[in-house]
A = this chain, B = another copy of it.
Amino acid sequence: MQKASNGTRAGSRPDDQTGDRRGSRTVNRQVLADHVYEELLASLMDGRLEPGAAISIDGTARELDVSPTPVREALARLEHTGMVRRVALKGYRVAPVFTREDFAELMEARLVIEPVNARLACARLTPERLAELEQAVSDLKSAPRGPSFAEYKDYLEADERFHQLIAQQTGNQFMAAAYAALGGQVQRFRLFGGVGITDAEYAIAEHQSVLDAFSTGDPEKAEAAMADHVQKVRARAIADAPAD
């Protein structure tokens, strides 16, 4: 229908300093696919794209005012995260909703991987990393916890950051990859979407326990604290699970 007066951008291509990411002298030419990727990820997380909805390549391209080529590349990357699914000649769709079985499987997997990560990370912890973990817990405590997405966004971000720091601190790229395969941040958003944060007090205390264990430098203690945390998260989530 509307050609969306985009003739302007097509002509003046040379240097679009619109994106003021890094001000250095390096030509700030960020790949468009990266931008599309982040944009789609944000749309997926804050609910603008509901599970099961179709993601049109051309439509997304028009919406973001780019050509379909970068959109295609961004979706190809997103596919591997499990957020979107692709059917051969039909296009992309947002992954279906999380069922109770899915949740149980996720927690089972986290219970296998995360305590081990905590043990490994604790064994080779540096003061700098410990400070980062403390910062994450501090952010967790100070983050707002309102009912809407915008209000608990920071809380989830700090939560994810805490666990991801531990995964990276293991120094084992494969354990970090295994944790990443669980969908970390993404799954966290999907779990709490529509439910909100109801267990912040308990969760914060458990994170603090893990952090304390790290401070003592006892890997066994860190492993146990993390296992305890994951188990309790599962128990609480099951208790007030949404009726799906």
A178: chain B residues at CB < 8 Å are: 109, 112-113, 178, 181-182
A112: chain B residues at CB < 8 Å are: 112-113, 116, 175, 178
Determine whether A173 belongs to the interface, using a CB cutoff of 8 Å to chain B: yes
Check if A88 sits within 8 Å of B182, measured CB to CB.
no
A73 vs B86: C-alpha distance in the bound complex, in angstroms? 13
Contact A174 to B73, CB < 8 A, known contacts A29-B89, A31-B88, A31-B89:
no
Q: Is the interface of A mostly helix, strand, loop or mixed?
A: helix
Interface residues on A, range: 35 or more
A180: chain B residues at CB < 8 Å are: 181
Binding site for B on A (CB under 8 A): 29-31, 33-34, 69, 72-73, 76-77, 79-82, 88-89, 102, 105-106, 108-110, 112-113, 116, 120, 171-175, 177-178, 180-183
Assuming A72-B72, A82-B177, what are 14 further A-B pairs, CB within 8 angstroms? A29-B89, A30-B88, A33-B76, A69-B72, A73-B76, A76-B76, A77-B77, A80-B80, A105-B171, A105-B175, A109-B178, A112-B178, A174-B183, A181-B181
Q: Can you spell out 12 A-B residue pairs with CB atoms less than 8 angstroms apart? A: A33-B76, A72-B73, A76-B77, A105-B171, A105-B174, A108-B174, A109-B172, A109-B174, A112-B116, A174-B181, A178-B178, A178-B181
Q: Nearest 6 A-B pairs (CB), nearest first? A: A109-B174, A80-B80, A76-B76, A181-B181, A178-B178, A177-B181
